[in-house]
Chains A and B, each alone.
Chain A
Amino acid sequence: MSLENFMSDAISPWMKENGPDCDIVMSSRIRLARNFENRTFPLIAKAEDLDDVLNFFQESYQDTDFNERGTMQFLRIADLSPIEKKVFVEKHLISPHLAEHAEEAGVLLSESEQVSIMVNEEDHLRIQLYLPGFQLRKALSEAFEVDDWLEQKITYAFDEERGYLTTCPTNVGTGLRASVMMHLPALTMTHQMNRLTPAINQLGLVVRGIYGEGSEAQGNIYQISNQITLGKSEQDIVEDLESVVSQLIEQERQARETLTEELSIQLEDRVFRSYGTLLHSRIIESKEAATCLSDVRLGIDIGYIQDMPQSILNELMVLIQPGFLQHYAKRSLSGRERDVLRASLIRERLHLENN
């Protein structure tokens, strides 16, 4: 398969679009946790109960059309190969938890892969909706549409007092996790993230690395999300997150300005060294690749590097992950083999732009 074809397969269509403030906010995500009223939650449910849920989902939603989102496709995780599972996780279409508990799990995907509904995750349903850039409110209203669409055929576990009932007490109420993926190189370089993270935590928000809980901020990419789900309306939760994200955008822009004013030549040097590494290296580990990609992306945003699309960071960050490399090679690879293939894929991808 040519790289171009592979890429268009590998990257979710929605990721190629630009959104508001997309120089800093890579994507906005809404997740809603929902359960069936009269069924045991997946955590302790028997296999046949879980199978029932899967069958119900397959029968009710396989190949159904949902408004302008086109035909929904239902997949059983057990039918995916181990490498395909990894790819789905790296594309954020399913969670690591779902991939691990594959026997009785499934996912319903929209054509653009913007909507993914995980079935038999920790909760019966986890509705996820992504939008490019900074548009949480729009993502929330679109996620509500999906929620309402599902509700036509499902009676949710809901209590007037407690709201949507979930397996974990941390999700009860709205079942909402709103999050943004932010590229914050200047705040990281100037060590301001160390100072900002505890302050953000105090506001009831959580800062994490790109692949969720416990992962480090690869490529200066941070995920920021709400922690509280009970006692606040979805709109308020989203607005609170929005106001913090807006401030972070502002601070990142200021930090970039200061860097370009005061350390212009050093910054330019760093950007082009990283660019050189990506263009010419033959062996590259994912951590180094992520760091270089972050520098190059910053160089594009500032204008040091021209004729290179901003989306290159989003694309390549997914492409350099172990699952994708093995998907491309169509076999499992040793660590060294991956580092070699990673270097060659990055070179090839950058040459596509330079021609």
Chain B
Amino acid sequence: MECQECHIRPATLHLTNVVNGQKTEMHVCEHCAKENGYVSYGQEGYSLHNLLSGLFHMNPSTVQGHKHFAQAPAALACPKCGLTYNEFTRIGKFGCASCYETFEDNLNPIFRRVHSGNTKHEGKIPKRMGSGIEKKRKIAAYRESMQQYIQEEEFEKAAELRDKIRLLEQQKDGQEEGES
């Protein structure tokens, strides 16, 4: 399809305008769209920030499965840095590590939207606090595949995993005893 303005370049933009219920369609190239002001390129670099604080202000009734959300506590403030929930939603940023705990009840919907539905960290763990968390993750992963094997009636493989889990759990206990 060629551009309906210059009839030279191919139409790469297809715009639909609805005015008083009247629908008009336009097929133009990027150049003509710019010339005629159909699109404004200056605003192309949208601010992620604006978008974010928009997310925070979403209507609580649309967020389900979050019993605390309806009573989003505007006056709630972080005990460490003093950032209030109101300020947090306005600037779209945290003030300190404790803010995460303070606003915990309202964070999952935000993270879900920003990170494609994810709310739980899966990556690197600081070396110094790492070993305990890593062990927990390993055990959880083994449990999951053990269930899988049981469903598939691959009991030998399931038993292997059961032993591995036991071993890991014993190690953990042993370590904790040693530390205390």
Contact = CB atoms under 8 A, between A and B. Distances in A.
Contacts of A174: 121, 123-124
Contacts of B107: 162, 169
A230 B12 CA distance: 35
A117 to B, nearest CB: 16
Which of B52, B94, B100, B111 has the most chain A CB atoms closer than 10 A to its own CB? B94
Nearest to A235: B123
Interface stretch (B67-75, B127-135, B157-165): B127-135
Nearest to A38: B97
Name A's interface SS. loop
A230 B10 contact: no
A233 interface: yes
B94 A169 contact: yes
Contact of A44 (B81, B124, B129): B81
Contacts of B100: 159, 162, 165
Interface in B112-139: 114-129, 133
B38 to A, nearest CB: 15
Interface in B38-63: 44-45, 47-48, 52
A148 interface: yes
A307 to B, nearest CB: 36
B30 A194 contact: yes
Given A40-B81, A170-B114, A191-B10, A232 B97 contact: no
Nearest to A166: B94
A228 B83 contact: no
Nearest to B13: A194
Interface in A165-207: 165-170, 172-174, 176, 191, 194, 204
A232 B45 contact: no
A169 B52 contact: yes
A191 B12 contact: yes
A355 B96 CA distance: 58
A41 B91 CA distance: 14
Interface string B20-34: 000000000010000
A276 interface: no
Nearest to A204: B116
Nearest to B136: A160
Contacts of A40: 80-81, 95-96
Given A156-B126, A169-B111, A161 B93 contact: no
A178 B154 CA distance: 40
Contact of A230 (B44, B45, B111): B111
Contacts of B125: 158
B168 interface: no
A151 interface: yes
A162 B81 contact: no
A125 to B, nearest CB: 13
Given A151-B126, A215-B45, A167 B94 contact: yes
Interface in A325-350: none
B96 A151 contact: no
Nearest to B87: A44
22 contacts: A41-B93, A44-B83, A158-B125, A159-B97, A160-B121, A162-B107, A167-B94, A169-B92, A169-B107, A173-B118, A174-B124, A176-B123, A214-B44, A214-B45, A216-B44, A230-B111, A231-B117, A231-B119, A232-B123, A233-B122, A233-B123, A234-B123
Interface of B: 10, 12, 30, 44-45, 47-48, 52, 80-81, 83, 91-97, 100, 107, 110-111, 114-129, 133
Given A161-B121, A173-B122, A230-B111, 15 more contacts: A40-B96, A157-B96, A162-B120, A163-B122, A164-B124, A165-B100, A168-B92, A169-B110, A173-B115, A173-B123, A174-B121, A216-B44, A228-B115, A231-B120, A231-B121
Q: Which 7 A-B residue pairings sit nearest by Cβ, starting from the closest?
A: A231-B118, A214-B45, A163-B121, A157-B97, A230-B115, A174-B123, A233-B123
Interface of A: 35, 37-41, 43-44, 122, 144, 147-148, 151, 155-170, 172-174, 176, 191, 194, 204, 213-216, 228-234, 236-237
